[in-house]
Structure 1
Amino acid sequence: MKVLNVYLLLWVTLLFVCPVAAQQDVKPMTYEQFKEQKDLQADKGFYTVYRLNDQYYLEIPTEGLGKEVLVTTQVAHGMAAFVSEASGVIRFSEGRNNTVQVVRNRLTDVSADSTDVCMMMALKKSGLVPIDYTFPIVARGEDGKSVIIELTGELNNPGSGLFNVSSYHWLSHPDPSRSGVDGWRMLDKGVVFSVTRGQSDYQSNPQTQEGRDIAARYILEMVIQQLPGDRMKQRISHPAYGFETIGVTEYDTKRYVAQKREYIRKWNLTASAKEIKKQKRGIAIEPERQICVYIDPVTPAPFAESIKNGVKQWEKAFEAAGWKNVFRFSSDAKDASLSYRTILFRWGSAYNGIYSSVIDNPVTGEILCARVNVMDVAADELLGMYFLQCGLLDGRIRKDLHSLAVRQDVLTAQVASAFAEVLKMKPNKAGYTVFTPANIRSEKWLNRYGITASITSGVTFNYLAQPGDGVSVKNLFPRVSVYDYDAIKYAYGNSDALPSMRGAFYAPEDKGDPYAQDGFLSNDILNASIQGVEAVKEIYLRLSEWINQLPDDQNTWKNVSDFTVKAQALFQTYLTQMVKLVGGRSVRPIIKGVNETRVTYMPREQQEEALNYLESAIFGEFPEWVRVKELDQSGVFDTDQMMVGLAEALLRHFMNKEVMESLVAGERRLGEKAFTARELFAYLDRVVFENFDPNKAVSTYKRGVQACFVSEFARFMAQNNISFGLSNGANGVYHAYFVELARKVKDLSEKHQDPSTRSNYQVMLLRMNREYFDKQ
C-alpha cells in the first residue's frame, strides 16, 4: 500500500512539473497544407476569407497585426434597432504558443511631451495591457506574411467574442437548425459577414396565464475592418461647448506634473497641408474622406427628404467651419454596413422616438460610425402639440391633423436634433432661452437664427409667434443655429473663439434652473408663459369649430374631447414654467475661468410677478374659462378635480429642498434685494389659506386645494425629516413653518365660523397627524 502511495505521489508531482505550455503548442499547418484541403473556397481581399463546408477562416496579413481594427455587429434585417455593445476597436497581434491575441482599445496614461521617448516607454511598461481572448493559428500564410484563424465559432456563438449579442434576448440563444452564415462581401480593407439567427421563446400573458412560443428571425451583419493609420488631431474640451469627451492623464516631463485632460469626441476630417492652408484663408475645403450617410431605401420618399434636410442643416454648419461636402448621401446596398465613416439611417423599430448608436475610439475620441433608427411615428407624437401651439398660424394643420407637409417639417427638426447625438454633442438645455420674445416674433431675426440658439435638446415649436407678426411657417420649427455653428467651428475649425452671441453657450439640464429646461422658450420665461396661456385660452374656446372643419374621419367627438384635455395639459405646462422661477437660480460656467461657475438667483420682482399671475390663474380661484360642455358631456372628466390636481402639482414645487436652499442662499447673498422664504410662506398663508381668517367661508375649490396642500406638505416633512438629509438651513425653515401651520389648522378646526370650512380644517388636521405627527 505504501509503494502504491509513493507511485501516486510521484505521478502527481510529475504532472505539476510538466510544462503545460508545451502541451498547448499546436503547430499550425503550412500554407500549402491549408490550401490543399478539398472543397476549400477563397475570396481574396485585404482580409482573405476561406470557406470549407461549414467552417470559415480569416487570413490576417502581417501588416494588419498591431493595427486598430473596427468590429461592429448590427441587426441588418428584422424588427430591432440592435447594435452590439461589443462593437468597437480591437487589435490583432501574434501571441505565444501559436495564437493570435485580441486586445480591445482602452484609455491609458500618456506623455504630454511626445518627444520624450524614455517617458513614453516607462508609461508603457508601468502596466500590462489585458488580453481579451485568443485564437489558435490554424495555418501560416504564404511566405509567412499572414496568419489564418478560424471564425466559425465567432459567427455562430452569440455569447462571447468579437460579435457578442447575448445582451439582446431575441438573439441570445439561437436554434442551430434555423441559424447559419449566409455569406460575406468585401469592404475597403475589411469584410462583412451576413448571419441568420432564429430562435423561439415562450411568453405568457400575466392576466390570462396563457402563453405560447414566439418565433423570431434576424439577419446580422458583422464587420471586421482595419482603420487608417493616421491619428486624429484632438481638440481639448471647452466649457462653452457641450461635447462628450475622453479623459486622459498626461504626464508633463518638463514640469514634472500630471494632469487630467478632457478631449472632444468627434469625427476625423483631414485634408492635405495645401488644402489646410486654403482653409486658414477662409476658403471651405472638402475632406479627403467623406462621411457616407446611408438612407434605407424602404424609407418613404417624403421622409427620406426630411432625413436629408435634417442632415443638410448640419452640413451648412460644417461649411461655416471650413469644410464643404462633408456628407455623401447614398441608398446603395454596398453602403449599408456599419463600417468606417458611415452613418446608417434605418427605417423602422423606432416607435417611441429616434434611436441612435454611436461607435467611437475610446483612446482617441474619434467617432467611427453610427446608426440611427427613425420612423414618422416620432413626428406623429408631436402633431397634437403643434395643432394647439401653432394652429393659429399654420392652416395646414387645421385642414388635416395628419398633414404630410407638417409631418415632414416636424421630422426634419427631429432628425436635426437627433443628429447632434451622432456628433456626440450634449443637449444644450439653455439653447432655447437665449433669444428674446421679440426676436422669436420677428421674421427677419428668425430667417437668420431661427427660434432657438441650439437644436441639440429636442423639438419645441414657436408658440410665441402671433397672427399679424408675419412669421412664415418655416420659422415655427427649430433648426441648427448659432450655438451649433459655434460648437462645430470650435471642434472642427481652426479657431479658439468663444460663442459669437452673448449667452449662447452650453448648459446642461438643471432642475433648479428655469432657463435650462425642456420646452421653455425665450430669455423671458414669465412673459413667454403668460403669452402661451393666453394663446391656449383663445384656441380652447375654438376647438369645436376647428375640429368641425377637419375631414370626416377626424371630425369626431373624441378628438374634441381629447384636444380639450391636451389644451389643459398645455395650460399646466406654461404654469409649470412660471412656477419654476420661484426659488430658481442659474449656474453657468465662467468661460474664461477654469472649473469656475457663477450662480445667479432669479430677480425678486420676477418671482413676485410669477406668483401674482399664478394667484390669478389657478391658486386664487377656479379658472372658469376651462369649463366647456365637451368635457362635461363626456362623463369621463371632472374639471373641478382636474384643476385642484393642477394647483396641487404646482404647489408641490415649494416642497423642494433645492428651492428652499436657493431662497435661503439668495437672501444670504442679496439681502433685501432677495425674495425670501418668509415672503413665500406669507404668500401661501394669504393665497391658499385666506390668512386663516376664522370668519371667511372658503369655496369648495379652495377647500380642495388646501386639503391637498396640507397632505402633500405633511408627507414631504415626514420623508425629509432632518435625519434623512435635508440641509440644516432648509430643514429649519420648513420645520418652523410646518409647526406654525399645524397650530393654525388645529385652531381653525375648532373655531372657524363656517361649518364646511371648519370641517375641512378638521380633515386637514387628521391628515397632518396621520402623515407626520403619528409617525414621529
Structure 2
Amino acid sequence: MNRFYYILLLLCLPWMAFAQEKATPAPAAKSKAPVTYEAFFKNGMRKIEGTFPVYQSDKKCYLEIPAELLGKDLMSSGIISKGPWNGTASAKTDLLVFTLGRNDRLEVRKQLCRERAEGAMAGAVEASALEPVDYFYPIAAYGKDKKSYIIDITADVNATGKLFAFPNLQWVNRPTAERSGLDSVYVIDNGMKFMSLHTQTDYMPPMMPGQMGYDKHNSVIIEWTLQALPERQVCDREADARVGYLSLSFNDFDRNPYKAEAVYVVRRWNLEIRPEDTERYKRGELVEPKMPIAVYFDRSVDPALRVAVVRAIEEWNGCFEQAGFKNVLQVREGEPEAYFAYHQISFSRALFTRKVNTVTNPRTGEILCANISIGNSDIRDYLLRAFVGLGAYEPAVFTDSLPVVQGEVARYVTSKYLGEILGLVPNMAGSMAYTTAQLRDAVWVKEHGISASVTDGCGVNYAVQPGDNIPLRDLFSKASDYDRWAIEWGYRQYPGLDVQAEKKALKALAGKAKDNTALCFMPEGRKGYKTNKFDLAQDKLVAAEMGIKNLKLLLPAMESIAERLDRDDSWQTYGDLTMMIYAAYMNHVALALDYIGSVTPEAIIAGYNEQPLNFASKAQQEEAMRFIGKYVFAGAPAWMNNPLMEQVSGFTGRELMTNVLERVFGKLNNPEVLAYLLLTERKLGNKGYTYGDMMNMIDRDVFLNFSAGRKVTSYAALMQTEYLKSFMKLYTGAKVEKYPGDLSYYLIERMSQLLKSIERLGRTHGDAATRQHYRGLGIYLKRALLPKEQPGIPMK
C-alpha cells in the first residue's frame, strides 16, 4: 500500500508543479511611458478645441486635462437623452477631481466630506484625511509644453469605462461593440459633451416552464459630459429640525476635541449678492443674485406643459422674494447645451414616471445642477384625483373645463418637484395647516391656496362644496406660507454678520414655527397623524366628510359623464371612474386611522420644545373611532348600492367594504399601534386614549357587546370574520412573545376573552343562524390555537 501511494505521488508531482506555475501571478505589464505632443498628434488625427480638448483617430478617442485644472472641481455626468429610460441619469454623475499620481498616471478621486476641524484638531484631521483613489488613467501623452495630460477614453465613450459608465442600468451598460460607439462631440461652456449610441441584447430566460426565452434588444443615446466648475464662495448652513431641507453630514472636531459631533448642513443652491448690491439688500430691496439659476426646456416639452412650468417657476420666484432675491429662476431660450450644467435646471418630458436628478457638492451641500423629467403617469394620477375631488363641485372638469384642470395639475406637479430640487424635503403637514372653513373661503384660498406647502401630496381641494363660488384655478395646491418661510430660512443672506450672529438670526427665524400650523414641518414617514398625503385641513375628518358628500353626489352622474366624454369605450370609462370614487371613499375613511395610537417623536430644542413625544389627544382618537363607526362599522352606505355598476362589472360594493375592513382592522391590529396605546396609558393614564378604550369600542360596534339577543346581520358577520382574520395574524406573534414589553400578554388575554365570549354565544344565542355563525367562529379560533394546524374560515 505504501508503494502504491509513493507511485501515485510521483505521477502527481508534474501536475502539481504545473498548477503552481499557473497559480503564480504574472508580473503586471508596465504601462508605456507618455509620448510627446509632437509624437502623439499625427497626420489624420482630429482635434476638437475646448476646455478639455478631444482627439479622435483610428476609432480612438483621447481627452486632454489641463494642468491648471488638476485638483479642481469637475462635474462628470451621464443621462439617457433618447430611447427607453429617457431622463434616467447615470449613478456615475458626480463631482470629482483629477490629480497627478505615480507611474505616469492621472488619478481620479470623488469628493468626500467625513471630518472637519479648523482649530486645535485641524492638524490631526488633515493627517487622517486621505481621499481614496476611485480609478486612474495612464497618461498617453503630454500636451504642448507639458502643460496638460492626454488620456485614452475610448472605452468610456464607446462602451463602458471608468469616467463614463451606467452601472445602475444593466440594459445599457454592456453595449455590443459592433452596434455601439461614439456618435458626436460638442464643446459646451467650460467642458465637453459626448453623444454615444449604446445598443445591447440580453437573453431573457422563460418566466415559467414551457415558455420560450427571448432576446431583449435596447438602443439608447447617452449624453456624457465633463465640465469644470467656476471658482466661487460657498458658505454652508447647518440644518434645523424645524425646517425641512435635504442635508448631508460630517464629523466636527472643533466643538469637542474629545468627541466627534455629527453636524448636518442643508443642500441648497449657491446664491451670492453682487458686491454693488450689498447695501440695497441690507435695506430690504430685492436684488438679482450674482448668478441666477438658468432654466431650459428640451424639445420633448410641449407648449402646454411649458406654460405650466413657467407658472410654477413664477411661484417659486415669489418665494425667493421673501429671502431678498428676485428673478432667481430665469427661463432661457433654446435648448440646453447639456442636460447637466452648472447652475442650471433642465426640463424634459418622460413617457412614464417622473425622474428628478440633482448633483450636490458633498463637502458644502451646494446643489450644482438638476434635471427634471415630468412623467405623463404622474400628471394622470393627479388628474384622476382632480376628477373625483372636484367633479361634484364643477361637473365641467370632465369636458369644457378640462384644459384648465390639465394646466393646473401640470403646474402643481411641476411646482412640487421644483421644491424638491431647491433642496426642500416634501412637507406632509402642509395640507393640515388651514381649517375646512378657510378652505371654503374664496378670498382665503386665492391668497394662501389649499395647503401651506405645495410639496405636500394633496393637490386638490376636495372639501369644497357646491355653492362655495371658488374659481376652479384656486382649488389646486400652490407654493404658499411654509414654502416662502422655508426658502427665506434656507436662502436669506446676512452680509456683515459673523457666524454666531448669523446662527442666532436663523434660530430666531426657525422659531417662528412654534404654535404656527402653517409653518409645521413633517416629512413623509414620520410617525404621527400629520403625514398622510391624502389628508386636508386641520379638522381633516370634517374635510373627509365633505369629500364623501361630493362622492355621493358624483356617483349617480357617472353614466352621463362617461357618455359625454366622446369615447367609444364609454362603459369602460364609466367603470374606471366609478372605481376611482370607491377608492377615494376608502382613502377618506382611512384618514381616521391616522389618529389611533398616534405618537409623534419631536426634536428637543431649548426654549422651543421640551417634550420628546407628542400623543394624539383622547378627544381626537375618540372622534376618529366614532368616524370609523359611522362610515365602516355601520355598514356600506346606501348610495354605494349601484345596480348599474353591478350590471357592468359585477361589482356590488361588498368587495369595497371588505377591502375597507381589511385596511381598518390591519391598522387596529397593528402591533406598533397597540404598543403605543399601552405606552399612552402608562404615560397619561385615563387622560389618554388607551388599549382598553379601543377594545371596548370594538366589542361594542363589531361584536355587539357579545349580546345573546342581538341578531348578526350579513355585514356584521363579515366584520367579525375580517376582524378575527386580522387578529389571528397578530396573535401568531404573541404566542412566541415576538412583541416588546407586555403586549404579548395582553394579546393572549384578549384571545382568551374572545374565545370564551364567542363559544358562549354559540351555545346560548336566541337566533339559530346567529348561533351557528358564532359556532363557526369558535371553531376557527380553536383551530388557530393548535400549534401546527392552519386556521380556516368555515364555510356557512
Return the TM-score normalized by structure 1: 0.91
Conserved 8 A contact 1:79-1:348? no
Counterpart AA for 1:217: S
CA distance in 2, matches of 1:750, 1:254: 72
What is the correspondence of 1:511-590 to structure 2 with a 5 Å cutoff? 512-548=527-563, 550-553=564-567, 556-590=570-604
Counterpart AA for 1:473: L
1:33 alignment counterpart: 39
1:199 alignment counterpart: 200
CA deviations on 1:502-537 (whole Å, 9 max, x unpaired) are 131321234752222111011112222222222222
Instruction: Mark the CA change 1:273 to 1:735 in structure 2 (over 3 Å): closer, same or farther.
Output: farther
Q: What secondary structure is seen at the aligned counterpart in 1 of 2:251?
A: strand
Instruction: Mark the CA change 1:523 to 1:592 in structure 2 (over 3 Å): closer, same or farther.
Output: farther
Residue 83 of structure 1, CA deviation? 0.8
2:278 alignment counterpart: 276
Counterpart AA for 1:411: A
CA deviations on 1:612-668 (whole Å, 9 max, x unpaired) are 233233213443221121123225213234324423422332101222222222233
1:700 alignment counterpart: 714
Counterpart AA for 1:371: N
2:62 alignment counterpart: 57
CA deviations on 1:431-479 (whole Å, 9 max, x unpaired) are 1111111221112221221111111133431011222222211221001
2:510 alignment counterpart: 498
Q: What secondary structure is seen at the aligned counterpart in 2 of 1:359?
A: strand
CA distance in 2, matches of 1:616, 1:43: 73
2:619 alignment counterpart: 605
CA deviations on 1:380-401 (whole Å, 9 max, x unpaired) are 2233321221123334314369
Instruction: Mark the CA change 1:717 to 1:379 in structure 2 (over 3 Å): closer, same or farther.
Output: same
2:165 alignment counterpart: 164
Conserved 8 A contact 1:715-1:771? no
Instruction: Mark the CA change 1:261 to 1:596 in structure 2 (over 3 Å): closer, same or farther.
Output: farther
Counterpart AA for 1:134: F
CA deviations on 1:257-313 (whole Å, 9 max, x unpaired) are 542210001111123333233222212222222222221223221111112222321
Counterpart AA for 1:708: E
Counterpart AA for 1:91: V
| Higher mean C-alpha deviation, range 62-71 or range 364-373 | 364-373
Instruction: Mark the CA change 1:448 to 1:749 in structure 2 (over 3 Å): closer, same or farther.
Output: same
Instruction: Mark the CA change 1:617 to 1:183 in structure 2 (over 3 Å): closer, same or farther.
Output: closer
Counterpart AA for 2:528: D
Quick one: percent identity of the two aligned structures?
Answer: 27
Conserved 8 A contact 1:435-1:522? yes
Return the TM-score normalized by structure 2: 0.89
Does 2:406 align with 1:393? no
Which of 642, 646, 659 aligns to 2:656? It is 642
1:417 alignment counterpart: 416
Q: What secondary structure is seen at the aligned counterpart in 2 of 1:215?
A: strand
Conserved 8 A contact 2:615-2:680? yes
Conserved 8 A contact 2:91-2:167? no
What is the correspondence of 1:302-313 to structure 2 with a 5 Å cutoff? 302-313=304-315
Q: What secondary structure is seen at the aligned counterpart in 1 of 2:327?
A: coil
Q: What secondary structure is seen at the aligned counterpart in 2 of 1:170?
A: coil
1:357 alignment counterpart: 357
CA distance in 1, matches of 2:710, 2:395: 49
Conserved 8 A contact 1:235-1:263? yes
CA distance in 2, matches of 1:510, 1:88: 28
Residue 539 of structure 1, CA deviation? 2.2
Conserved 8 A contact 1:547-1:554? no
CA deviations on 1:150-174 (whole Å, 9 max, x unpaired) are 211222232x411121331221221
Instruction: Mark the CA change 1:470 to 1:74 in structure 2 (over 3 Å): closer, same or farther.
Output: same
CA distance in 2, matches of 1:382, 1:728: 43
Q: What secondary structure is seen at the aligned counterpart in 1 of 2:429?
A: helix
2:342 alignment counterpart: 340
2:769 alignment counterpart: 756
Conserved 8 A contact 1:433-1:516? no
Q: What secondary structure is seen at the aligned counterpart in 2 of 1:358?
A: strand
Counterpart AA for 2:762: S
Conserved 8 A contact 1:354-1:418? no
CA deviations on 1:409-439 (whole Å, 9 max, x unpaired) are 1011011111222123212111111111122
Conserved 8 A contact 2:759-2:778? yes
1:480 alignment counterpart: 479
Residue 72 of structure 1, CA deviation? 0.4
Which of 616, 620, 630 aligns to 2:634? It is 620
Conserved 8 A contact 1:714-1:772? no
Counterpart AA for 2:165: N
CA distance in 1, matches of 2:395, 2:511: 37
CA distance in 1, matches of 2:320, 2:622: 44
Residue 546 of structure 1, CA deviation? 4.0
CA deviations on 1:704-735 (whole Å, 9 max, x unpaired) are 211121122112211344532x1223333333
Q: What secondary structure is seen at the aligned counterpart in 2 of 1:335?
A: coil
Residue 554 of structure 1, CA deviation? 7.1
Counterpart AA for 1:70: M
CA distance in 1, matches of 2:609, 2:687: 28
CA distance in 1, matches of 2:66, 2:398: 64
1:5 alignment counterpart: none
Instruction: Mark the CA change 1:555 to 1:202 in structure 2 (over 3 Å): closer, same or farther.
Output: closer
Does 2:193 align with 1:178? no
Does 2:110 align with 1:110? no
Conserved 8 A contact 1:396-1:406? no
Conserved 8 A contact 1:715-1:772? no
Instruction: Mark the CA change 1:641 to 1:219 in structure 2 (over 3 Å): closer, same or farther.
Output: closer
Instruction: Mark the CA change 1:60 to 1:677 in structure 2 (over 3 Å): closer, same or farther.
Output: same
CA deviations on 1:110-168 (whole Å, 9 max, x unpaired) are 1144xx6xx4343222243211111111222222221222211222232x411121331
Counterpart AA for 2:365: G
| Higher mean C-alpha deviation, range 498-507 or range 524-533 | 498-507
CA distance in 1, matches of 2:525, 2:223: 40
- How many residue pairs match? The answer is 751
CA deviations on 1:43-71 (whole Å, 9 max, x unpaired) are 22221222223112222111101111100
CA distance in 2, matches of 1:426, 1:456: 8
Instruction: Mark the CA change 1:211 to 1:417 in structure 2 (over 3 Å): closer, same or farther.
Output: same
Residue 486 of structure 1, CA deviation? 1.1
CA deviations on 1:78-134 (whole Å, 9 max, x unpaired) are 221321101101111111111111111112311144xx6xx4343222243211111
Conserved 8 A contact 2:236-2:266? yes
1:6 alignment counterpart: none
Counterpart AA for 1:57: Y
| Higher mean C-alpha deviation, range 406-415 or range 41-50 | 41-50
Instruction: Mark the CA change 1:610 to 1:661 in structure 2 (over 3 Å): closer, same or farther.
Output: same
Q: What secondary structure is seen at the aligned counterpart in 1 of 2:597?
A: coil
CA distance in 2, matches of 1:358, 1:52: 35
Residue 200 of structure 1, CA deviation? 2.2
2:10 alignment counterpart: none
What is the correspondence of 1:660-671 to structure 2 with a 5 Å cutoff? 660-671=674-685
Question: Any unmatched runs of 5+ in structure 1?
Answer: 1-8
Does 2:744 align with 1:731? yes
Conserved 8 A contact 1:620-1:688? no
Conserved 8 A contact 2:196-2:222? yes
CA distance in 2, matches of 1:560, 1:499: 51
Q: What secondary structure is seen at the aligned counterpart in 1 of 2:365?
A: coil
Conserved 8 A contact 1:436-1:523? yes
Q: CA RMSD in A?
A: 2.7
Instruction: Mark the CA change 1:384 to 1:630 in structure 2 (over 3 Å): closer, same or farther.
Output: farther
CA distance in 1, matches of 2:630, 2:339: 59
1:382 alignment counterpart: 382
| Higher mean C-alpha deviation, range 419-428 or range 643-652 | 643-652
Counterpart AA for 1:29: V
